[in-house]
Structure 1
Amino acid sequence: MELDRVGLALDGRQLIAPLSLVIEGGRVAVLMGPSGSGKSSLLAHLCGTLPPQFEAAGRVTLDGADLTDLPPERRRVGILFQDDLLFPHMSVAENLAFGLVSRVRGRAERRAVVERALADADLAGFGGRDPATLSGGQRARVALMRALLAEPAALLLDEPFGKLDAALRDRFRAWVFDHARRRGLPTLLVTHDPDDAREADRPVIQLA
């Protein structure tokens, strides 16, 4: 993923100064900054959900394709938020199945893919559970697997570790980055937590 002089402004005020960054497959880049520095808005721009009142400049490419004017569903960019955003009216398995790409067809094949994802997340046998019955760490793992089942070509992380306790945060951070690296995904994490920066594969970029 490449950001070529990407900047954001709102009501004439610059939020993100022109930023250029290349994230290779399997590498993790980290942007740090306080609340209000535009971190989440930048991720919204990258995945195509930036509200229209923002002004965006620059060019975003992924695997050589220009994403700048593509709708979100064509960008192949996955995102994980601080809140897991699991659907409360669906079981754990149904939440995972929601993320499946269209080429996974047939009830048996879809069930098999979901079961493999559950096993990969150390949640085998949890498919029928209500998400509300899971711990925070378990819900976070389901949210990541749902994002990965959509087969993204890049992964964005919007402070997804912030609501976890310290011990669980370290384990989940390592688990997320391991999955992203094994899949060769360029990964961009925005955070205000210095501990997150330890996992960066390149110098941390500090936003004002």
Structure 2
Amino acid sequence: MPETSPLWLDEVAIYQGDRPLVRVDARIAPGEVLTLMGPSGVGKSTLLAQVAGFLAPAFTATGRVRLGDEDLTTRPPERRRLGLLFQDPLLFPHLSVGGNLAFGLPPGGGRRARRRRVEAALADIGLAGFADRDPATLSGGQQARVALMRVLLAEPRAMLLDEPFSKLDAALRDEMRRLVFARVHDRGLPTLMVTHDRQDAEAAGGRIIELAP
């Protein structure tokens, strides 16, 4: 498992035209979840987009995003090695469940070795034997677990969570919170989560920054 470093948001500020939208200055330790809370339109997901490297042209940003001693601010998204988990699972419909997970694996390794890693990952999330299934046949909770494992198999150095539990019912939300936060802590991944849900923030167990409209 790769060594992890803190994720730094060094006075990161987002502007929409001349209007300041959001500003955050924070250090996120390995295994820590920092939660940004606030109503829709306050700039939570826009800040996440800046950290990930795909800020929309309508916005501008100042400050730096660092992972340990590495400055990520000008790197393209694919070179930042940040894992993103969204509201929707975004599984590829043309690939099997196993194919979706294999997509997340780093290049290299023989076909059998990659298949073993996929099977082990499915067993780890309670879906042993699901490799050949069509993602469309999975329940919402099962799709969410596959999406999480696909991100983790890519060996990210930090995690970004964009309202990841908002489309799950109450029972599944609790299950996925425990699963996601346990994996983050176990792997020592600094994690930035945006949400409008107080229970999500409290379940994360880390610091909470409230963003006002």
TM-score with structure 2 length normalisation?
0.94
Q: CA deviation at 1:13?
A: 1.8
Equivalent residue pairs, number: 206
1:22-171 → structure 2 map (5 Å cutoff): 22-102=27-107, 104-171=108-175
Q: Structure 1: how far apart are the matches of 2:164 and 2:207?
A: 20
Whole-Å separation in 2 of the counterparts to 1:38 and 1:164: 23
Secondary structure in structure 2 of the residue aligned to 1:146: helix
1:133 CA drift (Å): 0.4
Structure 2 residue ranges without an equivalent (≥5): 1-6
**Any idea what the Cα deviations from partners look like across 1:4-46, whole Å, max 9, x if unmatched?**
10010112222113x1111100111111011111111111111
CA distance in 1, matches of 2:166, 2:204: 17
Contact 1:67 1:75 in 2 (8 A): yes
CA contact (8 A) 1:7 1:16 kept: yes
In the alignment, is the contact (CA less than 8 A) between 1:30 and 1:188 conserved in 2? yes
Shift, 1:53, TM fit: 2.4
Structure 1's unaligned 5+ residue stretches are none
TM-score using structure 1 length: 0.96
Structure 2: how far apart are the matches of 1:14 and 1:172?
Answer: 34
Report deviation, 1:64. 1.6
Amino acid at match of 1:2: W
Distance 2:87 2:160 in 1: 12
Identity of aligned residues (%): 61
What RMSD, in angstroms, separates the aligned Cα atoms of the two structures?
1.0
Structure 1 counterpart of 2:188, one-letter code? G
Structure 1 residue matching 2:199: 3-state secondary structure: helix
Secondary structure in 2 aligned to 1:176? Answer: helix
Mapped partners of 1:106, 1:138: distance in 2? 27
